[in-house]
Structure 1
């Protein structure tokens, strides 16, 4: 029986199929086969094959060749077989991604907003409330008066060190009472050799700083923040505290409240209100925000839109001391506050209720004895101003 196998054209080169031993593959002898020179000797099982034949219609074609071309390659102009190593591709892609991230420019610091698009209206009778609190504060000595962030500069002689000590004190005060912050600042000054300076912080071991501030909240994180901030100040600001809010907020561990207070205390620059938890809580209890604000930043923007600029530096110190002694976060002393006469929509009044009951005592012999016992009960009653809705007290997680 004559063989059905056709003679191969001299223009084709035969080679055994790598997929089946009984199949012969044919390719154009004039075409070039290129292999990626960078490919590793260890080949992946994944193969990308691009077979392109010029003048395809002019060449005789056998069934095995047609079957192989149809199965393995699309039509094009050149023959190319490209072998890729799977692991090599993944690693190269990861390398490119890392290089792209490294070469990308650092993200620009977002500017701190200074005003609202629509100013918040001034609350009615706010001036009377403000003056009343100011009068009450003049009779109160609060922790912030003797141990606040402005006190840290008093032990320094050089103006540059006074500004840096103020900034460090503000960084330590977050989520920490003034009494603890003041003690930590004194201990840190001692650990640094008697003066809080940028150079002394950079020269000190982190363990020495951590031991000095170990009583403040989040002391481990703040240790790193203080070291990093000192390095930034040395590299970018000539070892001094910057004079803008955005530059201050670019420092590790420094937020808007610290930035505004640092400018007021260190540079005597008034560009906004430093709002902490006390200012946030008290102004909401007074009903100064409609609707009530949820964050100190919202409170700051509301207050700055209507409170006169000349009062911005004083309101923080005034309300912090008031919140530390009278308008406490839990159990506010409304009985000692003059605003509980109806001007504060969140005021509560202690009402004492008494009742009497008779207790009879009988003995085997002798007269009957009756004793009256007086029961005293106290309860807090909310006193609400007629035109305002009462606000629930806000929780306070920090002291200063």
Structure 2
């Protein structure tokens, strides 16, 4: 058995002894096969090797079989059956509350993002760690990039990450947590990142927290533990789980671009917060699409569905968008006479 995976196993009743001389009876036998793979060590996300947790699978197979002797009953777990029924009902409920034509809209946005030349494609968190560093350092750099990217343009974040990685001693937990790196020095490197002074404090505090037990230098791979770190909210934590650990199904990542696009499409109210947007989308969108949709919508918001003067005339889903061609044009500034 491999270290990183559970072997498949089956439950079934033993065959009765051949010496039994009883009337042959046909009974319903149920075979349960449970397959669980905990981690795939060979998986990668972008350029980063990672451990990907997979979901347990339960297969139930019914068959008629003639046996002799006492009837052997093999019953499935009632909890497993109820869980399957519950998931089926949830799927039906999800389809009912999903917006009309949402799949066509996502596909249309995907076709517009084929070029992958938006700022998030070039300077997103998944592009900013050192591909030659060890896995632990890559995960810490992904965490730092995600944290400083909040309320900052991707190009500015990318430039700041280059400066941080070029520091003597490097961008790693041990170095940032040490007395050799002062908060003021970090702030100067981060500038002009939005709220760079506060983020410098967060970075120092995060490194010190990770350097101490129970983390012992490792970035946690759970939403709860990540959100205990200074300056790490739901969006940053989910982004880290996706980029650093390949856990894209933990939650849908919503930034200002995703919130704006979903509001214009009528999927959420105009005044919806990013958190409300996330919960709303997760209530009906298949979990397997969360990470991909987040990435698609961020770039779409940067290039087409812009805050001011969105490019509705070139948008392939404008005919399905209730806000198309209704945005106020960009105000013209008067030139001094």
**Shared fold (TM-score greater than 0.5)?**
yes
Corresponding residue for 1:283?
A: 262
Runs of at least 4 residues of structure 1 off by over 3 A? none
- Deviation per CA, 1:286-305: give whole Å up to 9, x if none: 1112x445210000001111
1:319 is displaced (CA, Å) by 0.8
- Deviation per CA, 1:274-331: give whole Å up to 9, x if none: 1111111101111112x44521000000111111111011111111111111111111
Work out whether residues 191 and 208 of structure 1, in 8 Å CA contact, stay in contact via their aligned partners in 2. Answer: no
Output the CA distance in 1 between the equivalents of 2:259 and 2:208.
Answer: 32
Equivalent position SS for 2:194: coil
Under a length normalisation based on structure 1, what TM-score does the superposition of the two structures give? 0.56
After TM superposition, list the pairs within 5 Å mapping 1:108-119 onto structure 2.
none
Q: For CA contacts below 8 A with separation 6 or more, give which structure has more relative contact order.
A: 2
Corresponding residue for 2:174?
A: 199
Work out whether residues 192 and 200 of structure 1, in 8 Å CA contact, stay in contact via their aligned partners in 2. Answer: no
Corresponding residue for 1:151?
A: 127
Corresponding residue for 1:250?
A: 228
After TM superposition, list the pairs within 5 Å mapping 1:67-216 onto structure 2.
121-193=97-169, 195-203=170-178, 204-216=181-193
Corresponding residue for 1:326?
A: 304
Work out whether residues 308 and 328 of structure 2, in 8 Å CA contact, stay in contact via their aligned partners in 1. Answer: no
Output the CA distance in 2 between the equivalents of 1:309 and 1:198.
Answer: 32
Corresponding residue for 2:25?
A: none
The answer for unaligned runs of 5 or more in structure 2 is 1-89, 330-337
Corresponding residue for 2:324?
A: 347
Question: CA 1:238 to 1:171, structure 2 compared with 1: closer, same or farther past 3 Å?
Answer: same
1:192 is displaced (CA, Å) by 4.3
Output the CA distance in 2 between the equivalents of 1:265 and 1:239.
Answer: 18
The answer for unaligned runs of 5 or more in structure 1 is 1-114, 349-381, 383-390, 394-400
Question: CA 1:125 to 1:392, structure 2 compared with 1: closer, same or farther past 3 Å?
Answer: farther
Please tell me whether residue 337 in structure 1 is matched to residue 298 in structure 2.
no
Question: CA 1:128 to 1:138, structure 2 compared with 1: closer, same or farther past 3 Å?
Answer: same
Rg larger for: 1
1:243 is displaced (CA, Å) by 1.0
- Deviation per CA, 1:252-295: give whole Å up to 9, x if none: 00010011111011011121111111111101111112x44521
Output the CA distance in 1 between the equivalents of 2:173 and 2:252.
Answer: 27
1:139 is displaced (CA, Å) by 3.1
How big is the alpha-carbon RMSD for the aligned residues of Structure 1 and Structure 2?
Answer: 2.1
Output the CA distance in 2 between the equivalents of 1:136 and 1:152.
Answer: 24
